[in-house]
Amino acid sequence: MTPADLADAIVTAIGRAVADGDLDVTVPTTVTVERPKTPGHGDYASPVALQLAKAARRRPREVAEVLAGWLVTANGIASVDIAGPGFLNFTLAGDALGEIARTVVRAGEGYGQASKPRDVRVNLEFVSANPTGPVTLASARWAAVGDALGRILTAAGYSVGTEYYVNDAGVQIERFGASVLAAAAGREILAEGYHGAYVAEIAAAVLAARPELLDLPENEARAVASAEGLALMLTEIRSTLEGFGVHFDRWASEQALHTAGALTKAIDDLRAQGHVYDADGAVWLRTTDFGDDKDRPLVKSDGQPTYFCADAAYYRDKRGRGFDQLVYLLGADHHGYVARLKAISACFGDDPASNLDVIIGQLVTLSRGGAPVKMSKRAGTFLTLHDLVDAVGVDAARYSLVRSSLDSSLDLDLDLVTRQTSDNPVFYVQYAHARISSLLRNAEALGLPSASETADVALLTHPREVDLLRGLGEFPRVIEAAATLRGPHRVARYLEELAGVYHRFYDACRVLPQGDEEAGPLTGARLLLVAATRVVFSNGLGLLGVSAPERM
């Protein structure tokens, strides 16, 4: 019986109590089940009686007594005790906890995933860096976190569409084209342009493809350099991200919104909602009505649409494609976008609290031996995703970028990340999976099945076995919490904790027989437990986009 199974049993008990007239409450769809802080208080605990007491117009302990009467007869529950003001403490039947191992092995790759899909479509936009240079180290963090979050949301039952928004219109693209053209012509690039060896590489490639470039009129040459250079840069960005294991469902173009008239349509819709006004020759959106610090221009006095107008059109485009929730992953330098995006959502008639989620992440830096890593030779002024992957590899890079909350800045110590010791988190977790794989290969060589349907899981009573079973049972709830709280780091920290629990189990509980010793029922039960643990490590690492090696 997993915590999710127990939560279902509690909900069923509440429904029966309501149907029988013992309680007068609305039956919840789910309830909280947690590990008790004191081990002697049972296997699991729930504060559900305290949560229902006000609606039931009864004392929490009375509600607990009613529920305990229904729950004590449920399959898999040995006893239900009431503690304090009304906490329910559960002790599972002898084999109920052990059945978690069989449940995990039976579910395989599906273990931890939602039992049924949610009727919610989520659009997840991340990275979306200007296509004027390589993928930076900061964007690498959003790539790792965003991709992991997409996998986790999918596992939690959401229908997810991932998206990269290409800012291929505006001043930055004009400056990029001018920089490429200057590099191709051997001229000095203006101070506000783009610099670094990559610009010269792009310029050489453009010149090779369009040898007539330098003979064209200046404006035409700049347009060609801009278009060709942008295409090459996007190809490199896409290749870099795919090599990092990040694949987007859609690459959305800002320029395509302009071409399709989406900005004008957005303004018309917002005007129809009563939130647009004209002043000083410009068109404004009254965002201060929805918490912004000032109203924002949609069209400047020279008739040119603003970036904010494109943001509004893009929001409208996403919602028009049927997405219920729009999730944006943005860097710390975009903090001011939060109020603006919320105002856009509200101006279109949506509820920002349910239709919009803007996640702001902090920056990442690299160090080695306590000293900052120098800037990329190719990029000139910043570190790139290529720099990180070249230094530590894809697995270590992805795991290290994901394991910390986005709320905190991240300093990656390259010496630690590449160290094959237990103080390196990614090595610690991957080694646990490899160690299990080795054990199961040895079991197979001895002719011992690792996932026997007849294994007697009631024999798994050693404290270290119980700890491991409880840890495996937590995995579905970890996924749910990571999805709800938009925190992929929760999966990484769970895996690290589980690795510690497994290593302690391995040290205390011998799994395979030694010498002439015969394999007994306990051997089969422990092999099933070990096989289940491998499933969870594999599934958890998969959610983070990190491999689960069988040998290290």
Query: In sequence order, what DSSP letters do the residues of 259-271 get, joined into one string?
Result: HTTHHHHHHHHHH
At residue 492, the pLDDT reads: 98
The angle at the Cα of 159, spanning 156 to 165, to the nearest 5 degrees, equals 115
**Token pair for residue 17?**
């109590």
- Given a cut of 70, whether residue 120 has pLDDT beyond it is yes
Q: Helix axis angle, 394-402 relative to 137-155, nearest 10°?
A: 80
- Given a cut of 80, whether residue 415 has pLDDT beyond it is yes
At residue 304, the pLDDT reads: 94
Query: In sequence order, what DSSP letters do the residues of 485-522 get, joined into one string?
Result: TT-THHHHHHHHHHHHHHHHHHHHS--S--TTPPP-HH
Per-residue confidence at 377, pLDDT binned at 50, 70, 90?
A: low
Residues counted in the chain: 552
Closest CA to 14 of 57, 58, 70: 70
- For the chain, what is the mean pLDDT? 94
Which CATH topology does 121-163+248-360 take?
A: Rossmann fold (3.40.50)
What single-letter DSSP state applies at residue 160? E
CA–CA separation, 326 vs 355, rounded Å? 6
Least confident of 210-214, 345-349, 376-380, 490-494: 376-380
Per-residue confidence at 61, pLDDT binned at 50, 70, 90?
A: very high
Per-residue confidence at 447, pLDDT binned at 50, 70, 90?
A: very high
β partners of residue 166: 253
CA–CA separation, 222 vs 535, rounded Å? 55
For range 89-96, the mean pLDDT: 88
Query: In sequence order, what DSSP letters do the residues of 226-290 get, joined into one string?
Result: HHHHHHHHHHHHHHHHHHTT---SEEEEHHHHHHTTHHHHHHHHHHHTT-EEEETTEEEE-GGGG
- Given a cut of 70, whether residue 516 has pLDDT beyond it is yes
CA–CA separation, 345 vs 359, rounded Å? 15
Query: Which strand (E) or helix (H) includes residue 69?
Result: helix 60-71
CA–CA separation, 246 vs 365, rounded Å? 21
CA–CA separation, 164 vs 398, rounded Å? 18
Residue 282 sits at φ, ψ, to 5 deg, of: -115, 170
Instruction: Read off the pLDDT of residues 125-182 as tens digits, 9 standing for 90 and up.
Output: 999 988 999 999 889 999 999 999 999 999 999 999 999 999 999 899 999 999 999 9
Task: Pick 335 or 55 by higher pLDDT.
Answer: 55
Domain boundaries, the chain: 3-92, 121-163+248-360, 171-244, 421-544
CA–CA separation, 437 vs 19, rounded Å? 49
CATH of 3-92, one of 3.30.1360.70, 3.90.870.10, 1.25.40.10, 3.40.50.170: 3.30.1360.70
For range 269-278, the mean pLDDT: 96
CA–CA separation, 549 vs 394, rounded Å? 13
At residue 537, the pLDDT reads: 98
Q: How would you class 286 by CB atoms within 10 Å of its CB: exposed for 0-12, middle for 13-18, buried for 19 or more?
A: middle
Where does 421-544 sit in CATH, by number?
1.10.730.10
Query: Are the beta carbons of 336 and 294 closer than 8 angstroms?
Result: no
Least confident of 49-58, 77-86, 361-370: 361-370
Query: Are the beta carbons of 134 and 385 closer than 8 angstroms?
Result: yes
CB-CB neighbours of 272 under 10 Å: 9
At residue 37, the pLDDT reads: 78
91: CB partners within 8 A, 6+ apart:
42, 43, 77, 78, 79, 80, 81
Per-residue confidence at 73, pLDDT binned at 50, 70, 90?
A: confident
Least confident of 34-38, 45-49, 56-60: 34-38
Instruction: Read off the pLDDT of residues 448-479 as tens digits, 9 standing for 90 and up.
Output: 988 888 899 999 999 999 999 999 999 999 99
The angle at the Cα of 253, spanning 130 to 358, to the nearest 5 degrees, equals 65
Closest CA to 48 of 21, 100, 9, 79: 9
CA–CA separation, 121 vs 319, rounded Å? 10
Closest CA to 71 of 23, 3, 31, 11: 11
Closest CA to 254 of 219, 272, 286, 230: 230
344: CB partners within 8 A, 6+ apart:
285, 287, 311, 312, 315
Closest CA to 274 of 338, 348, 342, 339: 348
Per-residue confidence at 323, pLDDT binned at 50, 70, 90?
A: very high
At residue 524, the pLDDT reads: 96
Signed CA dihedral, 372, 241, 390, 418: sign only: positive
The reported pTM is 0.91
Rounded to an integer, what is the distance from CA 337 to the centroid of its chain? 21
